[in-house]
Structure 1
Amino acid sequence: MVGWRISGKVFSFAVAALAVLCGCASPGAAPAGPLRSLVVAAGPGTAINLYTHCGIYEVRVQDTYFVADKPRDDGLGNPPLGWGNPYQAGSITVAGSEAVFRDENGHTVTFHAKAGATAFLKTCS
């Protein structure tokens, strides 16, 4: 018999992320999963899977939250036509308070840092 061995932290994160993404988390629960895109290190053209499931509004790069200059969605809370869902692979470049996402399909989104932000403005479930 082959057994699965998962660390407690990984299991807890997976359960919390699944609960939030399924809309099963309690109303007062803080977002536990990657509800928006997160980049841990940002150098020129750092690879990212931009979270697009509810549209393109925000991204987090290290400890800075960025808001799209021109948010994009289809008007129904989904990514626009031609974008991946729930993610769009591409790269992000940060220069000062600006972050620019680009992908192989020619999509470009410019984000600006939201001063003092400690969380995303909008969560998606």
Structure 2
Amino acid sequence: MTERAGTIIFALTLAAGVLTGCSQADESADAVRATPSGRTIPFNLYTHCGDEVRIGSTYFEAETPLPVGSGNPPEEWDNSTQRGTMTLKTETEAVFADGAGHEVKFRARPGASGFKDLCS
């Protein structure tokens, strides 16, 4: 892919706002497109039962699960979403970060075609 094509794809992705955190319960509403590796974009992380995200067609799982009880995140996190950014480091590694200093590392689940856990 040329630099210009990558820039156009990234700009369209940002303009459309299509890269968002995905909840296990609402997989279809949050269809997202992949962004080129190394790019950081705005991201709303689903924190209620939220230890998985989908970026493009790839499902990622948090290295350390966020929910602590009844699907609720720790007290210092917003419930049900946390605003921040997502950086796709490689095709198999992504990192969420926010202004409060939170960071969550995600690893791709090769071959996954859906979220592992559904949360009600």
The TM-score, its normalising length taken from structure 1, stands at 0.66
**2:12 matched residue in structure 1:** none
**2:80 matched residue in structure 1:** 86
Q: Distance in 2 between matches of 1:75 and 1:52?
A: 12
- How many aligned residue pairs are there? 93
Unaligned runs of 5+ in 2: 1-24
Question: 1:1-125 residue pairs with structure 2 within 5 A?
Answer: 32-34=28-30, 39-43=32-36, 44-54=39-49, 56-96=50-90, 97-125=92-120
How many angstroms does 1:74 deviate by? 2.2
The TM-score, its normalising length taken from structure 2, stands at 0.68
Q: Distance in 2 between matches of 1:33 and 1:117?
A: 18
Unaligned runs of 5+ in 1: 1-19, 22-30
Question: Percent identity at matched positions?
Answer: 44
Q: Which runs of 4+ in 1 moved over 6 A?
A: none
Q: CA RMSD in A?
A: 1.9
How many angstroms does 1:95 deviate by? 1.9
